[in-house]
Amino acid sequence: MDDQLNFAPCGYLTMDRNGYIFEMNATLQKMLGQQELEWNGQHIHSLLTTPSRIYYQTYFLPLLDINGDVNEIYLTLKSTTGKIPVLMNAIERKIEHETRIECVIVEMKIRDEYENELIQERRNAESVVQKTDKAYEGLQQLLKEVECKKNELETINEKLKVLALTDSLTGLKNRRYFEEQLLLFIESYTTSHIPFSLLAIDIDHFKRINDTFGHPIGDLVLQEVSLILQESKRPHDIVARIGGEEFIILLPETNLEKAFDIAELTRKRFELFEWSYTPLTISSGVTMVRQGDTTTTIIRRTDATLYASKNAGRNIVSIG
């Protein structure tokens, strides 16, 4: 650690996700009244009062997982001269091929009335824990509840991740997910020459459906189209709605000839399907990855083939 960081006007430490400390600058050591041998390899819990441990366990890692950082978390540290109220910010990043959590700690001199009351309640809780076995049992129960809340937060976070990659109307993957997967497929093709193709689909004259039947019926039509695409895809194909009435299917390990066959079968299925409201057809465009492709070039080429089908009269498949 260089002198500029070591003697910075704020505390600084790094730790792993389990809370074990790797580094601590001289400013924080002075704040705590500790030497390096006392804190090296210790858990961050050893620096915190009991209420702050509970607060840390409840909020710190869930916030880090959801946001990628933690801003303005209030804690109370234990020092050789007493308790120190601090403000801590943290961020997780790679340091020398290892994941580390970097924390900046600033001593707080002024708290608003609510924060002061909260600190007092924490001190009271510490006193009760030390004096009675009953309070200790209550604290253990509280810790169990905290763990349950942490698990609930993690579950909610996973659900949010899924929702962030899903089209809310159709349940298909959204454009963001498709572009992330497309980048991975291009990287795989660049390194391993594993081919793939894209199939773009656009509902013909969809505006006419909205104008004739109304947007609620239009939404039902989009859901019906999505169900057909989902049921007819192969197990490893990725179907996404990328906007309006436009859909795209990522076809792994598929050459251009096979992609065209899939597109033609899909087009015929739409043409012959018994629709709930009005007959539908689709225009399609297919292309295969090429050497030097980026997400921009292959999407642009796919769009061009789709526009070629629409300009040629619709209800056809074009190759690009």
Burial of 117 (0-12, 13-18, 19+ CB in 10 A): exposed
**Would you place residue 197 in the very low, low, confident or very high pLDDT band (cuts 50, 70, 90)?**
very high
**Would you place residue 15 in the very low, low, confident or very high pLDDT band (cuts 50, 70, 90)?**
very high
For residue 111, pLDDT beyond 60? no
R_g of the chain, CA atoms, integer Å = 29
Average pLDDT, the chain: 87
Which of 174, 148, 187, 310 is closest to 238 using CA atoms? 174
Query: Average pLDDT, stretch 137-157?
Result: 70
**Would you place residue 147 in the very low, low, confident or very high pLDDT band (cuts 50, 70, 90)?**
confident
Chain centroid offset of residue 104 CA: 25
**Would you place residue 34 in the very low, low, confident or very high pLDDT band (cuts 50, 70, 90)?**
confident
* Ramachandran quadrant class, 287 (left: phi over 0; alpha: psi -120 to 50; beta: rest): beta
For residue 120, pLDDT beyond 90? no
Q: Catalytic residue positions? A: 245
